[in-house]
A and B are shown apart, each in its own frame.
Chain A
Amino acid sequence: MVVLSAARWIRSRLTDRFWRKQEVLKYARHFRGRKNRCYKLAVRSVRRAFVKSTKARAEKKKFLRALWITRIGAASLEHGLKYPVFISNLVKSQVELNRKVLADLAIYEPKTFKSLAALAQRRRQEGFLAALGDGKEPEGIFSRIVRHHY
């Protein structure tokens, strides 16, 4: 006997519930407590983790810049300069190194950093001479501005 309506008696069943839950749980495996095992708790924690990771991208930039500034300040203090003096005189000498590179130089190339500190110190002295001097001394060498025509 051919029963054509047999196919209609079978309801479709959800068969991949396990893998749908694994998609969420795989991001929770390093969490603490039951939220690394139980789906209901993990869903909330994973969503919060994603939101925090999105918001942290802007904070990471702030945090790293603060870290570089701390390191450059510490390194320049070893050479007798404070951070604002160092940075302002480097900028006035048209040395356009950013804080990331300066921090890496301070760690991995200490002699280069020492020469940069000496450059900033000399530019500072030239600035004082230009401001307080009589105008009879020649202009400082490091105070010259190089204009690039691009």
Chain B
Amino acid sequence: MTGRGSPSRFLTAVLHNGVGRYVRQLQRLQFLFSPTAADARGARQFVEEAAQDFARQHPDVVLYVSPGSGTAPLVRAEYLNGTVREELIASKTSEEIVQLVTKLANQSGLDIIRIRKPFHTDNPSVQGQWHPLTNKPSILTVQGPRLQPQ
């Protein structure tokens, strides 16, 4: 958990998303749960009740529901940059799954590691960045044949 021991990145948006139009970075959601297991009850309720509303509110996300998995219920989120994120939804209520899925839909697929600075700009300087000759008389910088010794 040190600065150089753990990975870190700078604040970015994927391909400057949001500067022009906004493209949702979540590509698809896969719900894998078993139709009979006890801890998948929240997942089943979510699929029955809230999944359609979620799909209508987020028309650019594709939902895949595959009941029949013998393992723990989970939701797999795939993003446009190829990141795959799996979250367990065992013993969660339908509302909690809705919250989780909304959070996944609002994320970009960038790594969830320490962000070095909470700001980023491509053009930090409007007036021109300081250099050693900024506040010196301009006679030192002007070159050319017009500069004759008087």
Query: Measured between alpha carbons, how far is A42 from B16 in the docked complex, in Å?
Result: 41
A106 interface hit (Cβ, 8 Å): yes
Within A11-29, the residues touching B (CB, 8 Å) are 26-29
Q: CB-nearest residue of chain B relative to A53? A: B2
How many chain A residues sit at the interface, stated as a range, is: 20 to 34
Query: Measured between alpha carbons, how far is A110 from B5 in the docked complex, in Å?
Result: 37
- In the assembled complex, which residues on chain A have CB atoms less than 8 Å from the CB atom of B148? none
Within B109-150, the residues touching A (CB, 8 Å) are 124-130, 134-135
Q: CB-nearest residue of chain A relative to B4? A: A30
A63 interface hit (Cβ, 8 Å): no
B57 interface hit (Cβ, 8 Å): no
Known: A78-B135, A79-B135, A114-B135. A109 touches B5 (CB 8 A): no
Q: Which 9 A-B pairs have the closest CB atoms?
A: A108-B125, A27-B5, A53-B2, A78-B135, A109-B127, A111-B127, A110-B130, A110-B134, A108-B124
- Do residues B125 and A109 form an inter-chain contact, with CB atoms below 8 A? yes
Rounded to whole Å, the gap between the CB of A49 and the closest CB of chain B is: 5
Q: CB-nearest residue of chain A relative to B6? A: A27
Q: Which of A49, A75, A79, A108 is in CB contact (< 8 Å) with B2?
A: A49
- Do residues B1 and A108 form an inter-chain contact, with CB atoms below 8 A? no
Rounded to whole Å, the gap between the CB of A55 and the closest CB of chain B is: 12
Query: Measured between alpha carbons, how far is A106 from B129 in the docked complex, in Å?
Result: 9
A107 interface hit (Cβ, 8 Å): yes
- Do residues A110 and B127 form an inter-chain contact, with CB atoms below 8 A? yes
A112 interface hit (Cβ, 8 Å): yes
Known: A27-B1, A53-B1. A108 touches B130 (CB 8 A): yes
Query: Measured between alpha carbons, how far is A114 from B127 in the docked complex, in Å?
Result: 12
- In the assembled complex, which residues on chain B have CB atoms less than 8 Å from the CB atom of A29? 5
Query: Measured between alpha carbons, how far is A109 from B4 in the docked complex, in Å?
Result: 32
Q: CB-nearest residue of chain A relative to B128? A: A110
- Do residues B129 and A107 form an inter-chain contact, with CB atoms below 8 A? yes
Query: Measured between alpha carbons, how far is A141 from B135 in the docked complex, in Å?
Result: 27
- In the assembled complex, which residues on chain B have CB atoms less than 8 Å from the CB atom of A50? 1-2
B20 interface hit (Cβ, 8 Å): no
Query: Measured between alpha carbons, how far is A110 from B75 in the docked complex, in Å?
Result: 52
Q: Which of B2, B124, B134 is in CB contact (< 8 Å) with A27?
A: B2
B18 interface hit (Cβ, 8 Å): no
- In the assembled complex, which residues on chain A have CB atoms less than 8 Å from the CB atom of B134? 110
Query: Measured between alpha carbons, how far is A26 from B126 in the docked complex, in Å?
Result: 42
Known: A79-B135, A114-B135. A106 touches B5 (CB 8 A): no
Q: Which of A27, A28, A46, A112 is in CB contact (< 8 Å) with B127?
A: A112
